[in-house]
Amino acid sequence: EAQVTQNPRYLITVTGKKLTVTCSQNMNHEYMSWYRQDPGLGLRQIYYSMNVEVTDKGDVPEGYKVSRKEKRNFPLILESPSPNQTSLYFCASSSSSGGAAKNIQYFGAGTRLSVL
Amino acid sequence: AQTVTQSQPEMSVQEAETVTLSCTYDTSESDYYLFWYKQPPSRQMILVIRQEAYKQQNATENRFSVNFQKAAKSFSLKISDSQLGDAAMYFCAYRRNAGGTSYGKLTFGQGTILTVHP
């Protein structure tokens, strides 16, 4: 089954304690992205990756890091989380090939993060 | 930069009735895609319908259809014969079709919460 898997689904942490949210896709997609969802703001892109070792900032990258060492994985790293990073996070993947499917982003189930 | 605006924070509809959700966007591009995503309480993002800007014909998917007005930069979603399972947050989204990094980025609106009354 084609899917994007995020872990964990829920996470409560304290300010300054480094954390990683994992994301993995099994569709051999080149493109992967991280978004955060906040009330009244919709989803905003944090970082994206065009392929292995190629990443770039999205609209709200401050306080986040990413890496793309393997095509299937795209972890999101918060090295020193702060309360304003409390949010719902989504990983997504897409492809530039594959006919009609190339225009679709596939989303993970989301990670609810609370930073105290 | 592209922006997407959903001016209706909340909408409601009676079961079996029709409802239209509004979306406007701003872009200087001529080639792009527009999408409607549904987010039920499970938080999963589900693609409802998509529209290619160079196609004049409005997209339809069963009970869901769009009214795409390219000159007005408007992209509304019509849900016919509303069902209780349609209750969700709906997001309008835009993607450039310029190759390269444009494949990886969606710009979203603020979302509209749809309530369906039995």
B89 in contact with chain A, both atoms CB, cutoff 8 A: no
Q: How far apart are CA A94 and CA A32, in angstroms?
A: 6
Tokens in use for B90? 């709906």
Q: How far apart are CA A110 and CA A55, in angstroms?
A: 21
- Give per-residue pLDDT as tens, A51-93: 899 898 999 999 999 999 999 999 999 999 999 999 999 999 9
Among the partner residues A44, A50, A112, nearest to B104 by beta-carbon distance = A50
Confidence class for position B97, pLDDT limits 50, 70, 90: confident
- Closest residue, chain B, to A89 (C-alpha): B43
Q: What is the pLDDT of residue B19?
A: 98
Q: What is the pLDDT of residue A1?
A: 81
Tokens in use for B57? 């014909």
Q: Check: CB of residue A113 under 8 Å from CB of residue A89.
A: yes
CA distance B16 to chain A (A): 28
Confidence class for position B106, pLDDT limits 50, 70, 90: confident
B64 in contact with chain A, both atoms CB, cutoff 8 A: no
B106 in contact with chain A, both atoms CB, cutoff 8 A: yes
Q: What is the pLDDT of residue A22?
A: 98
Q: How far apart are CA B26 and CA B94, in angstroms?
A: 10
Confidence class for position B56, pLDDT limits 50, 70, 90: confident
- Closest residue, chain B, to A39 (C-alpha): B110
CA distance A16 to chain B (A): 27
A94 pairs with which residues across the strands? Answer: A31
Q: How far apart are CA B78 and CA B23, in angstroms?
A: 11
- Give per-residue pLDDT as tens, A23-49: 999 999 999 999 999 999 999 999 999
Confidence class for position B96, pLDDT limits 50, 70, 90: confident
More confident residue, A2 or B78: B78
Residue A60 has phi, psi (to 5 degrees) of -135, 65
Confidence check: pLDDT of B98 > 80: no
3-state percent breakdown (helix, strand, coil) of chain B, nearest 5: 5, 50, 40
